[in-house]
Copies of this chain bind each other. A is one copy, B any other.
């Protein structure tokens, strides 16, 4: 029987970085954790009049729930994090521009002389039963029901080399990758860089386009269920994901072509290993069948995802752990 634990941080227990912190929870491999995550505004935006730059205070942005230590996780191991369920925790969610943040504005890094674009907040009504989040234009009457597609923008572990990295940054340890692929039904794989691995999760999104162009998604507190497991050794260079349909790798750096190169290079290597292909043969195969959506193009690092369709060949990554966790997740949902 799968063990089930809860993690619902008190306001002062949220973390704002990966690394440099004691675990809030210690679990055995194979444990289900029911957890709550606050939105990226730390819950401070409650109406379209709450401008994030006024109600939020740097660096208390993008709180994450955790860290969760996994017993027996040693440096070089792989944490497998299966998302069983991700459900918006409130019937309201918010999105916004933020001064000098986003893909189509000058930023701290892409420094320009323009004054900031207007800071504006959008309120979305969330209807979990109907599966919708409702966009309302602020300067006209347009209203559209968008399909819910919840995922976590920020998932990661403690970094290597003793680093402590703000929760807003995606890198080799995961973090704020903001890829919509991180949805329920997916298993994510992270390198263990410190004993216990120290998983943390946050930044729930009711939905988001690829690229997170304006800098924020439909930011939503979440009730989330994950199944946390451990693979000995085989730590990936960067986070990987697996769904029923795709193997996925990520690259988290700048410029965007380097994030692309990192994700593709890891997918070529993974494909070569899984299919016992010589490297250039794998390069060729990935070139003809892979997908390459953007994760985010707005954070301190950018994120690209590379996807290989599992339908092409029987694939048994990590000895079929995804199928096993998927089944256990479904079993949990059936019996709770």
Interface of A toward B, CB cutoff 8 Å: 16-17, 19-20, 58-59, 95, 97, 102-106, 108-115, 117-118, 120, 122, 135, 137-140, 142, 144, 146, 160-166, 207-218, 237, 251, 253-258, 260-262, 264-266, 268, 275-281, 283-294, 297, 302, 304, 312-313
Contact = CB atoms under 8 A, between A and B. Distances in A.
B135 A264 contact: no
A275 to B, nearest CB: 6
Contacts of A253: 109, 254
B294 A138 contact: no
9 nearest A-B residue pairs (beta carbon)? A139-B278, A59-B161, A111-B265, A209-B290, A256-B256, A255-B255, A210-B292, A214-B287, A254-B254
A144 B274 CA distance: 14
B261 A111 contact: yes
A129 B210 CA distance: 35
Contacts of A285: 135, 137, 144
A278 B212 contact: no
- Contact residues of A: prevailing secondary structure: loop
Nearest to A215: B287
A281 B137 contact: yes
Contacts of A161: 16-17, 58-59, 166
B255 A140 contact: no
A137 B135 CA distance: 47
B138 A283 contact: no
Nearest to A255: B255
Contacts of A304: 294
A166 B164 contact: no
A257 to B, nearest CB: 4
